[in-house]
Structure 1
């Protein structure tokens, strides 16, 4: 009998950790990310690495932007990590460590670090506490069974975005850099580019949905305020109306 966890097992585990309802607009985002993380976690060729962790953290943060109540976001993220056998602390710590390195390396230095990290580590004197972060790219390039994923590509994109925000705005330059990195790490270049195009497109769509929802909420709030104002005005004017009616009756007498 197979002991491999199923998607149902992971979902059950998730909802045992996060017991509050999830806003309907974001439920699909959470469950799609959960299924993607689950399928990777049960793949024999998959191994957790910091770039993948950064992709998970970035996807969650950006697609869950604007979630209410805000306090529930960390509970949801923690439950996601626990449901696939990880911890939110490890994902956050590894993601922050990579962003710290990307913030120290700019443009070509960052690209060199991604394609041959040890040389840049020595030249830039990356802190010892982050030495563990300098090995993922080497391990990936030397692993013929490396399991590529969309979340890994998002992690790479986030590093480039952090190191050179102007680079990711120029599609031609971005594609050239992705080609260089893909060749160095033996990644499926076309898939990397398509996954990132879809990711950015979905971010735009989600932003539009969030904007539309914000407009609806604001319009609903204005309607409630107007109804309350009308009610207060009606209640305030009622005594005067009664008084005037009494005076008219008294005058006729």
Structure 2
């Protein structure tokens, strides 16, 4: 008997946990992330790791920027993780742990650590997990893992990721050290960065529309509150 959860099961669970409506512009982001996490969770070769967790957290936080009401974001993220039978707190804690490590390292040290040419003493558990990824021929690579790697570089040296040549060289070293496809890594990250730009543009357009709507409402209110002066009757 096949007991593997389906995408429909996961969506049903999510919407039973987060019952408030999700703003239209963000609904697609949430559902695409949900489906991606679901498909990985049921893949026999997939195994959770902190870099993947950072990718999930970064993707959610970056694409949900500006979401209103703000208080709903935590509920959405919690439901997202629970829907694939994971703990949101674990994802957040692992992401914060990696963010702290990345900020404490120079770009060269971070790249050397991720590409397995340098072993650092900051976190022996993370070091062991990186080695396990590099030595696993069946490691299940994912776009979210790639985003986790990119986020580490961005946290260590924001200027490096803006420079195409430096970024390309860094990703080439990391891909070689972890035995990942450099082509897939670059392709996924180009799409990620492109989608971030599109989302930022969409948010600007939405903000302009909301501002225009607010001005219209204020104008109508002013007009409706202006007293009507009756015409003067002359004899």
Report the TM range for the smaller structure's normalisation: over 0.9
TM-fit CA distance, 1:132: 2.8
TM-fit CA distance, 1:231: 1.5
**For 1:225-251, what per-residue CA distance to the aligned partner results, in whole angstroms no more than 9, with x for missing partners?**
111111122x2xx2xx34x63xx35xx
| Structure 2: tracts of 5 or more residues without a match | none
**For 1:100-137, what per-residue CA distance to the aligned partner results, in whole angstroms no more than 9, with x for missing partners?**
0001001111112212387222xxxx2xxx54333321
User: Which of 183, 187, 203 is the equivalent residue of 1:194?
Assistant: 187
Name the one with the larger helix percent.
1
Aligned to 1:83: 83
The answer as to whether partners of 2:112 and 2:118 remain within 8 angstroms in 1 is no
- CA distance, structure 2, for counterparts of residue 119 and residue 180 of structure 1: 15
1:213 paired with 2:203, answer: no
- CA distance, structure 2, for counterparts of residue 118 and residue 195 of structure 1: 26
- CA distance, structure 2, for counterparts of residue 50 and residue 118 of structure 1: 19
The answer as to whether partners of 1:63 and 1:203 remain within 8 angstroms in 2 is yes
Aligned to 2:52: 52
The answer as to whether partners of 1:118 and 1:134 remain within 8 angstroms in 2 is no
Larger displacement relative to structure 2 (222-231 or 109-118): 109-118
- Structure with max Cα Rg: 1
Aligned to 2:34: 34
Q: What does 1:38-187 align with in structure 2 at a 5 Å threshold? A: 38-116=38-116, 119-121=119-121, 126=122, 130-187=123-180
TM-score normalised by length of structure 2: 0.96
Aligned to 1:21: 21
TM-score normalised by length of structure 1: 0.90
- CA distance, structure 1, for counterparts of residue 125 and residue 157 of structure 2: 23
C-alpha RMSD of the superposition: 1.3
Secondary structure class of the residue paired with 2:119:
helix
Secondary structure class of the residue paired with 1:166:
helix
Aligned to 1:7: 7
- CA distance, structure 2, for counterparts of residue 199 and residue 9 of structure 1: 27
Secondary structure class of the residue paired with 2:120:
helix
Structure 1 143/23 Cα, relative in aligned 2: closer, same or farther at 3 Å?
Answer: same
The answer as to whether partners of 1:117 and 1:134 remain within 8 angstroms in 2 is no
| Structure 1: tracts of 5 or more residues without a match | none
- CA distance, structure 1, for counterparts of residue 124 and residue 222 of structure 2: 62
The answer as to whether partners of 1:112 and 1:120 remain within 8 angstroms in 2 is no
* Runs ≥4 residues deviating over 2 A: 115-119, 130-136
The answer as to whether partners of 1:54 and 1:94 remain within 8 angstroms in 2 is yes
The answer as to whether partners of 2:109 and 2:118 remain within 8 angstroms in 1 is no
